[in-house]
A and B are shown apart, each in its own frame.
Chain A
Amino acid sequence: MFRKALIANRGEIAVRIIRTLKEMNIASVIAYSQADFASMPVKMADQAICIGPASAIKSYLNIDAIITAAKITDADAIHPGYGFLSENADFAQACHENGIKFIGPSAKTLRMLGNKSEARKMAMKAGIPITPGTSGCVSESNYEQEALKIGFPVMIKASAGGGGKGIRIARNEQELRSEFHIAASEALSAFGDNSLYFEKYIERPRHIEVQFVRDLKGNVLVFPERDCSIQRRHQKLIEESPSPAVSETLREQLSEEAAKLANAANYIGAGTVEFLLDNEGKHYFMEVNARLQVEHPVTEAITGIDLVREQVLASAGETLAMPGITKIKPNGHAIEFRINAECPEKDFRPEAGTIKKLVLPGGLGVRTDTYLYAGYSLPVFYDSLLAKIIINAPSRRLAISRAERALRELETDGIKTTSAFCLRILNDEDYRLGKTDTAFIESLLKKTKHTK
């Protein structure tokens, strides 16, 4: 087992990882930027080392600085968290070359899954349904033809994209021509790669994903699906498990397919297969997220399994207790709410400031993952996720009541958050009935505009 692990991340996920490392008796080192000097993970970790200035490019995305920090502190493993370098194959490669274990899949696996069109090909080979789309990247000369072959509406995606970034939709030929060129230049500036591919745009789908953990012997643990349909501009806001739209039979099928993909990618550690579910109940493979996800606690809440621990064990070469494919049954229902420093009244504009007073919800079935403390000043350089409130209860109905109670307990004086907006969603009739899709928030916002 590892002696000391360096966390190349910040915020709530750094806190989350440090907690498990402490329980596993692995020393923790946080590599932080100057802007995070007074942050909670810096206080919590056994050791902290400043790797660069506030700008993420020079700190949390700086491979040389992070590897040097691991060497200086004599860490034998690096946990990348999510975002930043978590799915960066070059980083995983650099760790390997410097004799440091990257807690995640191999550079080779990351490279393959990171290229979204390669991942689609792999899924197709494994017999998993994919949305109609181009078999590879499109070019300036053939993109119009390719779009017509698929049929409108068409989704334009950046090959190097992910996390909802670099996606545009074209509903006709005219839109296609303009969106294609915008998407190409956006992809170039965001990911340094302007290659694009097309997929059929599924109208109002649900976003369903399946978490798995695979060891190096090829044994796989598959978890009940998460439903992440409540999202705004491809950024998830509320996630739950199990999905109100997934039957036992479909769960069985999705689990089988996730395990197949994990095996095909020779994946080691924790990963997630994302699917779209259309309104006829048909599902399509979307992509594999080769990292720990923000919403992983939803799965932990209904299974009692610590996913960070499983990740660390798998990377250290430990094998899972059960051979072959093990499908874990859901126990009750869990919902996660992302509390972001955003102002919903002002088009979800990011908020900055100092938390003057902080009251976190608690009680039975309520877990709050956060890096906030009273008096903390939010740096403006990073993403707006402040806290995640994870509710679990024996049923979805009870989880909703508990969530309402918990969200009302939260106080973050000094900073506006998405918590009141989450409460509004909870009180929506369609949400309560489980009738949601990825356009839910957009429709809800329109609804309020009309009633005003």
Chain B
Amino acid sequence: MDVIMLTALSRWMENTDLEEITWRSGKNKISLKTNNEPVESIIPSSPLQPVLAPAIGIFRSSQPGQTNALTEGMKLSQGSELGWIETGKTREALKAPCKGNLKIIAIKDGQPAEYGQPLFFIEPE
């Protein structure tokens, strides 16, 4: 078996999804195996943009005395108010990072959130 043959064979194999082949020609026999160990796990990408809790605390959807008007599917503009995270006496506002549709609301009023927890998912427009 010559180098040209071997090269042709491995090229051909690269263009298939075969992982292992055995090729016989008369007395000659060769086995090839691809080295297909996954380099890293595949991170699924999503077009949705999460809004993460900027601090640990209690989620408040609205100011006291007001009602919350957030519903899934509603349109948001950049900077739309989504609620607050209350840590002790401080309140940190949650704002839409981009214009889009509010796809998922992952928290309810009064629920605790830890730092970095995704609270909303927005489909950017």
Contact = CB atoms under 8 A, between A and B. Distances in A.
Contact of B116 (A34, A63, A72): A34
Contacts of A53: 115
Contacts of B58: 68, 72
A64 interface: yes
Interface residues of B, number: 13
A68 B56 CA distance: 7
B28 interface: no
Given A49-B56, A52-B56, A68 B115 contact: no
Contacts of B57: 65, 68
A50 interface: yes
A72 B115 contact: no
A69 interface: yes
B88 A51 contact: no
B114 interface: yes
A302 interface: no
Looking at A49, A59, A64, which has the most chain B CB atoms within 10 Å of its CB? Answer: A64
Given A49-B56, A52-B55, A69-B56, A64 B88 contact: yes
Task: Tell me whether chain A's interface is mostly helix, strand or loop, or mixed.
Answer: helix
B87 interface: yes
Contact of A50 (B89, B90, B115): B115
A64 B114 contact: no
B114 A49 contact: yes
Interface in A24-59: 34, 49-53, 59
Contacts of B88: 63-64, 67-68
18 contacts: A50-B114, A50-B116, A51-B56, A52-B55, A52-B56, A59-B115, A63-B88, A64-B87, A64-B89, A64-B90, A65-B56, A65-B87, A65-B115, A67-B88, A68-B56, A68-B88, A69-B114, A72-B112
Contacts of A59: 115
A72 B57 CA distance: 8
A65 to B, nearest CB: 5
B90 A51 contact: no
Task: Tell me whether chain B's interface is mostly helix, strand or loop, or mixed.
Answer: loop
B55 A65 contact: yes
A63 B112 CA distance: 17
Given A34-B116, A53-B115, 15 more contacts: A34-B115, A50-B114, A50-B115, A51-B115, A52-B56, A63-B88, A64-B87, A64-B90, A65-B57, A65-B87, A68-B56, A68-B58, A72-B56, A72-B58, A72-B114
Contacts of A51: 56, 114-115
Contacts of A34: 115-116
Interface string A63-85: 11101110010000000000000
Nearest to A59: B115
Interface string A327-356: 000000000000000000000000000000
Contacts of B117: 50
Interface string A204-220: 00000000000000000
A368 B56 CA distance: 34
Interface in B70-125: 87-90, 112, 114-117
Contacts of A67: 88
Contacts of A68: 56-58, 87-88
A139 to B, nearest CB: 36
Contacts of B90: 64
Contacts of B116: 34, 50
Contacts of A65: 55-57, 87, 115
A47 to B, nearest CB: 11
A66 to B, nearest CB: 9
Contacts of B112: 72
A50 B115 CA distance: 5
A67 B86 CA distance: 12
Nearest to B90: A64
Contacts of B87: 64-65, 68
A69 B57 CA distance: 8
5 nearest A-B pairs in the assembled complex, by CB-CB distance: A64-B88, A72-B112, A50-B114, A50-B115, A52-B115
Nearest to A51: B56
